Structure 1
Amino acid sequence: MVVFNEFSTVPSLLRNVVENIHKPDETFLIDKKKSDWEEISFKQTLENADAVSAFFLERGIAKGDRMGLMIENSPEYVYYDQGIQQIGAINVSIYPTLSEHEVEYIINDSGIKAILIGNTFLLKKVLKIADNCRQLRYIIPAFEEYTKVAIPAGLDTEIISFDEVLGTKNRISKAQLDEINLRRGALRPSDLSSLIYTSGTTGTPKGAMLSHGNFVENVKVCLQQIPVIDETETFLSFLPLSHVFERTATYHVCCAQGCKIAFAQSLELLAKNMGEVRPTVMNCVPRLLEKIHDKAIKSGTAGGGLKAKIFLWALETGKEYRKEKEAGKNPGMIM
């Protein structure tokens, strides 16, 4: 069962799952590698998070330090986020489509010390501005091809692969685990969890300060408003985790309730991924639903003639059926 109390924080949610809801070896994350969907357990997730924590503690990262993420939705996002959050560091997720100038501004304004990078394009973007980022110490590519990217001469920022970061789990000591547990237990709901920057369309972007308590309270309300969500659900995540909606309504809800999270490969492959994963829950935005609706209408009426008439009749019948159900009636086969 979900356990919330006055000390609940973002990293405590997932620990509660393995203590009270699921066995550690049960599946938490689902990600497609090449042609196969890979299942990742709660235990693997937490071990990787501990590796991230130990790596940064060895390098002097402390509570309150800002840590960047510019990466697609993925297990790597979860490992990094859980790892930094449980030692009191702060998640600063940067939307991947921002310009070099905007990325540079956010890195400097927030004081990011390390940034996780998701692909070659984003790495090149960060390398161009790295020397202008005063506090940036580590660039961490989470993809194999990073070695093919040309590194600017005289770069002061250290480049370390995320595989190396995760490799820390092979040598993590009991003393390090004790220190991680101590820091996680010392977190309070009032502590800052994340900075989420505004779009900047009406002025300079501002970093909205969100505490652990803000996120946990939002999760509590989500589960109260949609009580049918339980630990058996599978979510398909495709909206960006750099925005608060997907991070709360998918990622944090799943951390609290013990639901599975599958990561869509892209918006273009979303329909294909839906058929492969068969999710029970997807968080969505109106514009995407409009696109799906418009595509269905176009496809259903493209042939014209009788086929189009049958399609439109079925659509209207469905609308009438929904209205009857919403009115508390029991529509028959012929309404």
Structure 2
Amino acid sequence: MKNYNILTNFFKKPNKRVLGLKNNNNWYWMSNEHMIKNINDASNILTSLSVNKGDRIVYQGKNSLEWLSWNLAVQSKGAIWVPMYADQSKEYCQYIVNDCTPKIAITDGTNYYSNTVNIDNKINSSGYSNEKEINIVDTNKDDISTLIYTSGTTGNPKGVMLSHDNLTSNIKTLESRFKDINYKTTSLNILPWAHVYSLTTELYYNLYRNNSIAITSDKTTFINEMREVRPNVLYIVPRILDLIKQKLDKYDIPLFNHTISYILKYMLGGNIKYIFIGGAKLNDSTKFFFIRNGIKICEGYGTTETSPMISVNHYSHPRNIYSIGKILDNIEVHIENGEILVSGPNIMKGYWNNLEKTNEVLINRNNKLWYKTGDSGYLRKGFLYYNGRIGDNYKLSNGKFVNVNEIESKIKRYIPTNFIVYGEGMDSSILIVEKPFNNSTLNIINKKLDKHLHISDVIHVDDFSKYLTPKMSIKRKLLIKDFIKN
């Protein structure tokens, strides 16, 4: 019988540079052999705690050697990995623990939870360093590998059940799309693996390809560490590219010339070949800036519920620059009443303990399961185009319809901080923006907009952090509730 455990795809060939870690300003690399030892040691700790197939194991902490070792040890047991962000609130994490009822919770000491066994994430050697392979429990394709709770922009988080086959199919489809990248790559990890985009497309995909991943020691130092690691590929969210572009905007130099190209490539370590973008829509002006300066941008689209990738732009498709990618080979996309529907082996098994919400988004058509994304878009020649979240768009009091994605994309280049535009039932749109923001900028913005889209007022937000999800998406509904409806 075939073992569908995702772990069977990893550590097939020798690799002396699996995971790069920084210690005392020096980088050192973990080999396959060292990783297997760590995983077996962690697995034996799980055995001593009577962890069995199907048990939930919660982990809270930053990306690290321990994070990866515990993750793969849990997979080897056929247990279910439940990752939480290092900086999530105690209340949020306690909700997850209460909902998924884990066998144990593993932490780096930042939080401890009631109603479960808590252990530290440190892995003590159990004397199995001579084992060359990982003992992997037989796993069926539909067995749950990972339970990822969507941070959501409103309401309680929902636990997305992703099977071993969900994740493996997404990895193999990505490999097929980028099979021309047939050499070993090195990436610098910036995003948390608790998010499915980074977990699947960066961590698991590169373990599968036997590539190298270095973990940045701190989000504030990643620019300097680019030059130390010299990665040739990055997996990041649009906000990071926006920040890099804003740094370069300070130079009084035309945006597209050799000097800017040189500075940009130097900032990225001097060896960058591809940048994969996901998690949110990349602003067109930022995308043009990087492409015109010689950086190959591969923008993709997906959701937690789709493991995550649905589409991705290959760097050889510059004519489709406005799209969010070509549909992956084993995935179907259908547009129904403007909404993007997806079918394929990457579709989740449902929401944990929440049949009602599951039935709202998973529908059966002609014996085929479809996921309703809640996103608006359209297809053209196999490429997908994104129009924003259904429900985010609004009508002004004069009946004029405002496409939020369109207006926010137009003005994003003038606003270096987080913001949203809103105006449902109002005479004109308003801007809710993170400080600092100079109101005189509003005159510049309005000159770029059609008259009916002009913004009449600005609301300044002192502390925007509570309105951001861990992947830096804006909690739009919460902002509107706090600053408009209240």
TM-score of the aligned structures, taking structure 2 as reference length: 0.51
Match of 2:154 among 193, 198, 202: 202
Q: CA deviation at 1:191?
A: 0.9
CA deviation vs aligned residue, 1:312-335 (integer Å, no higher than 9, x gap) = 4628998799499957xxxxxxxx
Residue 54 of structure 2 is matched in structure 1 by 64
Residue 71 of structure 2 is matched in structure 1 by 81
Alpha-carbon spacing, 1:201–1:264, altered in 2? closer, same or farther (3 Å): same
Match of 1:189 among 125, 141, 145: 141
Q: CA deviation at 1:139?
A: 2.3
Is 1:297 aligned to residue 249 of structure 2?
A: yes
Is 1:314 aligned to residue 254 of structure 2?
A: no
Residue 280 of structure 1 is matched in structure 2 by 232
Q: CA deviation at 1:41?
A: 0.3
Is 1:12 aligned to residue 2 of structure 2?
A: no
Residue 152 of structure 1 is matched in structure 2 by none
CA distance in 1, matches of 2:36, 2:260: 49
Write the letter of the residue equivalent to 1:291.
Answer: L
Residue 208 of structure 2 is matched in structure 1 by 256
Q: CA deviation at 1:229?
A: 3.2
CA deviation vs aligned residue, 1:232-277 (integer Å, no higher than 9, x gap) = 1111111110000000111001111100111011221111111000
Alpha-carbon spacing, 1:211–1:296, altered in 2? closer, same or farther (3 Å): same
Q: CA deviation at 1:116?
A: 2.7
Residue 212 of structure 1 is matched in structure 2 by 164
More helix by share: 1
Residue 37 of structure 1 is matched in structure 2 by 27
Residues 4 and 141, structure 2, Cα contact 8 Å, conserved in 1: yes
Q: Which moved more, 1:246-255 or 1:51-60?
A: 51-60
- In structure 2, list runs of 5 or more residues that go unmatched: 262-287, 295-315, 320-486
CA distance in 2, matches of 1:68, 1:312: 46
CA distance in 1, matches of 2:2, 2:246: 46
Residue 339 of structure 2 is matched in structure 1 by none
Please state whether the residue corresponding to 1:186 is helix, strand or coil: coil
Match of 1:244 among 180, 184, 196: 196
Residues 84 and 194, structure 2, Cα contact 8 Å, conserved in 1: yes
Q: CA deviation at 1:185?
A: 4.7
Residues 48 and 79, structure 1, Cα contact 8 Å, conserved in 2: yes
Q: CA deviation at 1:213?
A: 0.5
The alignment covers a number of residue pairs equal to 270
Alpha-carbon spacing, 1:323–1:252, altered in 2? closer, same or farther (3 Å): closer
CA distance in 1, matches of 2:54, 2:212: 30
Is 1:137 aligned to residue 117 of structure 2?
A: yes
CA distance in 1, matches of 2:106, 2:172: 29
Residue 333 of structure 1 is matched in structure 2 by none
Q: Which moved more, 1:5-14 or 1:60-69?
A: 5-14
Overall identity of the aligned pairs, in %: 27
More strand by share: 2
Q: CA deviation at 1:8?
A: 3.8
Write the letter of the residue equivalent to 1:13.
Answer: N
Residue 187 of structure 2 is matched in structure 1 by 235
Residue 40 of structure 2 is matched in structure 1 by 50
Please state whether the residue corresponding to 2:66 is helix, strand or coil: helix
Please state whether the residue corresponding to 2:105 is helix, strand or coil: strand
Residues 6 and 75, structure 2, Cα contact 8 Å, conserved in 1: yes
Residues 146 and 161, structure 2, Cα contact 8 Å, conserved in 1: yes
Bigger RCO (CA 8 Å, 6+ sep): 1
Q: CA deviation at 1:231?
A: 4.9
Please state whether the residue corresponding to 1:112 is helix, strand or coil: coil
Q: CA deviation at 1:163?
A: 3.4
CA distance in 2, matches of 1:229, 1:77: 28
Q: CA deviation at 1:210?
A: 0.3
CA distance in 2, matches of 1:231, 1:45: 22
- In structure 1, list runs of 5 or more residues that go unmatched: 142-161, 302-307, 328-335
CA distance in 2, matches of 1:209, 1:235: 27
CA distance in 2, matches of 1:195, 1:294: 36
Q: CA deviation at 1:14?
A: 1.1
Please state whether the residue corresponding to 2:98 is helix, strand or coil: helix
Alpha-carbon spacing, 1:246–1:56, altered in 2? closer, same or farther (3 Å): same
Residues 186 and 213, structure 2, Cα contact 8 Å, conserved in 1: yes
